[in-house]
């Protein structure tokens, strides 16, 4: 995803499903959101569904616990532990606030949450025009 290159204003719609949490450094997040903005035509929309983190440690702990309970229900403690170990090693989710701030820096002026549940969010961002 970090190596993608498309013409400016080449898309009316971009879907980013469960990929952004793989970005590591803030600079990668900033570059990706700047690319999304550049690649969208005026009036174009970005839809994101992804794993998130929370800035408040207490909320993060609560939401991770709730997600852990869900994982246990469908696959037992082994599944919970496997998923959490993978996330700790391979993923770098950011909070919704962080992502919205980064969208604003990239030039998006309209964005909102469509759905949020535990450690997952779906939102849209629209390029002015």
27-66: per-residue pLDDT in tens?
999 999 999 999 999 999 999 999 999 999 999 999 999 9
Backbone φ, ψ for residue 4 (5° rounding): -65, 145
Residue 107 in this model has a pLDDT that exceeds 90: yes
Backbone φ, ψ for residue 113 (5° rounding): -75, 135
- Do the bridges between strand 11-17 and strand 40-51 make them parallel or antiparallel, or are there none, so unpaired? parallel
Residue position matching structure tokens 């690649």: 39
pLDDT band at residue 79 using 50, 70 and 90 as cut-offs: very high
pLDDT of residue 66: 96
pLDDT of residue 81: 97
Residue 2 in this model has a pLDDT that exceeds 90: no
pLDDT band at residue 129 using 50, 70 and 90 as cut-offs: confident
**Rounded to an integer, what distance in angstroms lies between the CA atom of residue 90 and that of residue 23?**
10
- Which domains does the chain carry? 11-126 (3.40.50.150)
- Residue 16 CB neighbour total at 10 angstroms: 15
Residue 103 in this model has a pLDDT that exceeds 90: yes
Share of the chain above pLDDT 70, in %: 100
């Amino acid at each position: 995803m970090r190596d993608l290159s498309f013409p400016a204003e080449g898309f009316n719609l971009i879907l980013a499903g469960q990929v952004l949490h793989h970005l590591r450094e803030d600079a990668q997040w900033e570059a990706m959101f700047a690319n999304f903005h550049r690649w969208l035509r005026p009036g174009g929309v970005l839809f994101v569904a992804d794993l998130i983190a929370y800035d408040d440690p207490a909320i993060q702990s609560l939401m991770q616990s709730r997600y852990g309970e869900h994982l246990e229900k469908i696959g037992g403690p082994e599944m919970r532990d496997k998923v959490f170990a993978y996330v700790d090693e391979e993923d770098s989710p950011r909070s919704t606030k962080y992502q919205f701030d980064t969208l604003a820096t990239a030039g998006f002026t309209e964005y909102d949450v469509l759905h949020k549940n535990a450690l997952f969010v779906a939102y849209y961002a629209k390029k002015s025009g």
